[in-house]
Every structure is written in C-alpha cells, then in structure tokens.
A and B are shown apart, each in its own frame.
Chain A
Amino acid sequence: MKHIVIIGGGIAGIETACALTDAGHWVTVIEKNEKLGGKLNNWSYLFPDFTPTEKITGTLQEKYREKDFSILNKTEVSGILRQNGKFSIKTSGEQHLEADALVVATGYEIFDARRKEEYGYKIYDHVITSADLEQLLLPGGDLTVAAGKNPKRIAFVHCVGSRDEKTGNHYCSKVCCITGVKQAIELKKRLPEAEIYCFYMDLRMYGKHFEELYREAQEKYDIQFIRGRLSEASEKIDKSLLIKSEDTLSGRPLKMNVDLLVLLVGMEAGKGTAATAATCGIGCEESGFLKTTDSFLKSNFSEQEGIFLAGSCTAPMTINDTILHARSAAVEVDNWLKKK
C-alpha cells in the first residue's frame, strides 16, 4: 500500500484524501487548524443557490469519517527530505512520516483589507469585509450600525485586493462578483427597506446560474449596480460613511452617504503557501500561487516529480472548481503511483 501525505485539510485536501482512500491508498492529512474544512467553516450560505454551508461541510464530514485516513490536526510541516524515491516529512509535532507522494492543498488567504487604506477597514466603525458579513448573516447576526439602527443604505465595493495594481494583485479572484450579488440579495431579504449599491469594474458572471442571479438581484431585489471604483471612504460625525467614486457609465463623479460599507475581498496565496513552496522546493507564479507544470493538461503537477497540487493553492477557485481540481489531483497521483 502506498502512503500519500496531503498538506492542508480544507475542501481540496479532504476531497483528494477521500478519492485516494477509495483508490486503495493509505492517506495522511496534515492540517494546521483543529478543524478540517478550511475557510468554508466561516461562510454562511453559498452562491448561487444559497445552500447553507453546513450542508456542504456536513456532507464532507460524513464522507471523510467513513474513510479510513489519518488526520494530524494542529500540525504543520517543518521539513521535507527526498531520499530513495520517497519523501521524509518532519512535522511541528516532531513526527516523522514517510510518503510515496505528496499533495499540496494549502488553499488561500483572504486579502487583508487594511492594505486598501483609503477604505478605512479596521479604522472606521462600519466598514466590514465580505468575510465579516458572512458571520453577520448567520442566524442571530447583528446587522445594526450606529445607535443600534438597521442600515438604510449599504454599498458593496467589488475587487478589493483583486485586479489591483496598488496591492500588486493583478489577477481576478473569481468568486467576489457573485459573492457580492449573493450577499446583496441576502441583505435585501433581511433589510427590505435598505438601498443597496454595488460598485464594480466588470461583473464576471461566468458560472452556472451566476448571470441569472445577477439579473434577479436587479429585477426582483432592486439592487443598484454602479460601474466605478471607490476612490475613498471617510467617516462622518454620525459614524456613517462618505464614499467617493466615479460613475464611469455616465462619466460623472459620485459622492454618496452610506451606513455600511462592505469590501468584497479577494484571495491571496498567502504566507502559508509560500512557506510550503519553500519547504517542498516548488515554484510560485508571480501572483504567489503555486506554479503548475502546464495550465491545460497538467494543472495538478508541480515542478517536482511526486508533488501534486490541489485546489486554490494554484489559483483562486470556486468550491465547485476546487472539488473537481482535488478529484483530478487524486486521479493524477494514483496514475503516477501505478507507473512508478
């Protein structure tokens, strides 16, 4: 029986582990947190059909509990040595593992919105991120703003930390457009009296049911989409926010007062992925995400033979894409081990 070590216990890591266990391999998942599931654990409902996240995480949990693979939680990889065709892995818990193949599934990090200083995240009281909003959208979440009142006017800012020269993130994070549409609808359902505005550069509704949801947001929920990027936000004396932009369709500057500002934060490769890349001796793209051998036919292959890549450590991905990428990683590992 071959032993495969998977670094990262998010949805990509779990899905790869399940598929490889089904293929008859012995699998160990190393996860730095206590709980498997990664950032999905922090989300409330999923686009485009508002599926409760618990439903997906619950199904994943049931699935992996049925499988016989090992999990080392609260553990990180501290060193990897390649010898005699095998990987010798040292962990932060001083464990030594020997593996025939490695799968890196370290996922992504959420863009730190403080870097877009002009929006005042962590400075102004009522500027939050899409990740923060997910927590507030859970049952019992408090959406009130100044003086305990519900926000009357809410703005979303798309592409915060994505497609942005200033932050050095030139890529599209893929999920933020549809997340913004989904969250705007959820807010409108919770706060029917609120006016909701989305400031966007482009709306990239590429996925199944994305475009339909975007249309529904406009027609059914009266959510206003303004093509323009925010130049700055400032806090007023009543804690509401003054935002400035340009409506690039009408070609006019725009100034608006809102009670809540939501920053749709993008994905970044993050320090964890960079550290793993250094430990494994594999390369990163200019974006910081892990380099694949080939974009078309070898998107699960790293530059090092025997080290495979799964999920959003290679590029921003939706949950669907991540699961598919993880399954294809399992197929590639299995095929490679059979040929070995």
Chain B
Amino acid sequence: MKREGKIQVWKDYQKEIADDHYFYVRSCIRQNFFPGAEQTFLKILRSELGKDICENPHHTSCSGIAYHADVVPFDTIQTIAARQFALMTEAGYQNFAVSCITSFGIYSEIIETWKEYPSELEKIRNYLKRATGREFEVPQNVAHASDIVYKFREDIANKKKFPLINQQTGQPLKIVEHIGCHYSKMFPAKGVGGAEFPNVLVGMIESWGGEVVDYPERRHCCGFGFRQYLVMSNRGYSVSNSRKKFESMEPYKPDAILCNCPGCPMFMDRWQYVIEEMEGKTYGENGQGIPVLTYEELAGLVLGYDPWDLGLQMHQTNCEPLLDKIGIQYDSSLKYAGKDGKLIGKPAMVGC
C-alpha cells in the first residue's frame, strides 16, 4: 500500500472546522452505549484546550433513526433540525458541533437541501415559527465532534501522558479505524479525508503514537445499519456483518478498534461477546476480544484520565488488555464502583 497515494487523497479532502465557540448537540444513544464519551469530549475541550462549548438541555433527538426507518417524514425531521438550530441561534452561537454521525449526516443533508431548494428552507422556517414561535439561522459551520478532536489532535498529543505505544514491545499500537457510514459516504467533502480513505481517525491515531492498520473490509458496515438491527428478525444479518469485519481484520492482529459513530462501537463491542458465546471464537490475543473505543475515550486515555471515569467498564469486550499494553495503571476492584466508591453491580446476562 502506498502511503503517498493516501496523503494525496487526504489533501484533496480538507474541510473547514471552526476554531472555537461551539454549540454542542449530544447523541440520543451514545449516552447509553458509552456514557463517558461525550462528557470526556466536553472536558477535553473546556479543560485541556480552553474552548468555549455550550449545550442546552432542551435539545432533543434529531429523530434520525426514525427517519432512516421511514417512520419520520422529511418535513418533520427538517423542522426538528430547525429547532436545534434555533437553540443554537438563541444561545448566540454559529458553529454547530455534532456528537452523533447519524445526526451529522442528517444536518448535512438538510442544509444541502436548503442550499439546493431555498423554498424548503422557507417552508421549514414557517413550520417552526407556527409550531414553536422560534426562529433560526443556518449554522455557519457544522463539524462532527471527531472533526474537532482531529483539528486539535496535536494539542492533545502535546499534553499526552500515555502515547499509543505497546510498553511491552516498544512498538506503536496497531489500531484499526472504523468510520460511521453517514460521516462522509453521503457527502465526501464533508469528511476529513473523504469517503474512501478518511483521515479523521487516522490522524488522531498517528498523532498520538499509534499505527493504523488498513484491512480489506475496513469500509464494510459495522452491522448496525438501522433496519438490520431495529427489526429483531434481521439481527442475525447484523452480527454476520460485524463478524465479516472481525474475520478480515484478524490477520493484522490489531490492538484496538477506534470508531467515531454511536452504533459502530456498540455493535463491534457487543457482537464480539455474542460471537464468543455462539462460536467460541475470539479475535484478540490470548482468547480475548479486541477492545473497541470511541475517539473521546482514546483521547482520554492518552491524556491520562482514569479508565473507569471514561466509562470503559461499560464495554462488553474488556479493555484491560489495551490498558496493559499502553501501561495505564487501574484498580480492578473499582471497575464497577460508583462515584461514591460503592459497587453498582457487575453486568450479568439476564433472560438471554
């Protein structure tokens, strides 16, 4: 594989990412899947980078999953997006920072629709005004939260406590990256590095000392795919998609999987457990799984945050093998402790 070819693609797809003053919109599902990720993002931006970032509890789901499941019509989701933009406008912000890849795709699609068909924008202004009395400005800059971490990856690298180096071998950790489909597959120019060879996570991994492993099924869906998972009878299709990726990456012996989407780390984390139960197969070393992290969690580890504060105990595929390789100290007895130090209960399979 020729790196210079990728570098050329990365140069072709550089997007404008606002430098400061963000209005942050959370994901409706990430807070359940990986509850520490978004809080870590806010902490890094505010405490490490000194950035101004605002969020509003009146913000709602973008309804993207329902839209993609054909439950919510386009007019409705446009009006919901307009309401989020109204919250941003009312707070005095112009830069929209989006936690979720699905939402990022939704907002991009809607803004592009408004550019192409201004009558749609006027119609939605009217709908929102009639429904809520609110008015809004279209954001000047829309960035996915991973774009922002990518933009400041070197600042994070300069503050790192733990580089992505295997302390046992001295070699860079081998990490595979998985980009959410809606990040740039719909609008390649809206993703750092485009759709085929995105650079957004590669840039972070390399800046923080790791090595990216490209593998044949890198572009393949993680297995979420909305209808694959939302309809229970399709869930076998979901796990088979994830399995296809694991089989493909296995020969490269990756130390971790890094994602920037809500669904991808969820499915790649949970389905490893399911495959182990179903087939007795694991894809990591020594009968263990391959830890799956969000980019905020990885940034938090690099900055030396406590793994349990990052919420790594909520992963179904244990992250300890990765922590050991990086050389991060952790207290196993506190893995399932609440903030007050009392145990909150270990995960158990119930009714499966």
Contacts and interface: CB of A to CB of B under 8 A. Distances in A.
Interface stretch (B26-34, B191-199, B229-237): B191-199
A237 B251 contact: yes
A125 B2 contact: yes
Nearest to A118: B196
A114 B219 contact: no
Interface in A115-143: 117-118, 120-125
Interface string A225-246: 0000000101111000010000
B194 A123 contact: no
Nearest to A243: B216
Given A125-B1, A125-B2, A117 B9 contact: yes
Given A122-B2, A234-B216, A117 B252 contact: no
Given A123-B197, A237-B251, A237-B252, A114 B216 contact: no
Interface string B164-206: 0000000000000000000000000000001111000000000
Interface string A86-124: 000000000000000000000000000010011011111
A122 B5 contact: yes
Interface residues of B, number: 19
Given A117-B195, A117-B196, A124 B8 contact: no
Nearest to A123: B5
B8 A122 contact: yes
A122 B1 CA distance: 9
A234 B216 CA distance: 5
Contact of B194 (A117, A121, A237): A117
Nearest to A237: B251
B309 interface: no
Contacts, number: 43
A114 B2 CA distance: 13
Given A122-B8, A123-B197, A242 B2 contact: no
Contacts of A114: 5, 8-9
A234 to B, nearest CB: 4
Nearest to B7: A123
Interface string B257-280: 000000000000000000000000
B197 A234 contact: no
A235 B216 contact: yes
Interface in B1-47: 1-2, 4-6, 8-9
A121 B252 CA distance: 22
Contacts of A123: 1-2, 5-6, 9, 197
Interface in A204-262: 232, 234-237, 242
Contacts of A234: 214-219
Nearest to B244: A255
A168 to B, nearest CB: 14
A125 B6 CA distance: 12
B85 to A, nearest CB: 30
Which interface residue of A124, A237, A242 has the most chain B CB atoms within 10 A?
A: A237
A289 to B, nearest CB: 25
A166 B214 CA distance: 25
A120 B195 CA distance: 12
Interface of B: 1-2, 4-6, 8-9, 194-197, 214-219, 251-252
28 contacts: A114-B5, A114-B9, A117-B194, A117-B195, A117-B196, A117-B197, A118-B196, A120-B5, A120-B196, A122-B4, A122-B5, A123-B1, A123-B2, A123-B6, A123-B197, A125-B1, A125-B2, A234-B214, A234-B217, A234-B219, A235-B1, A235-B216, A236-B216, A237-B215, A237-B251, A237-B252, A242-B216, A242-B217
Interface of A: 114, 117-118, 120-125, 232, 234-237, 242
Given A117-B9, A234-B216, 18 more contacts: A114-B5, A114-B9, A117-B195, A122-B2, A122-B4, A122-B8, A123-B5, A124-B1, A124-B2, A125-B1, A125-B2, A234-B214, A234-B215, A234-B217, A235-B1, A235-B216, A242-B216, A242-B217
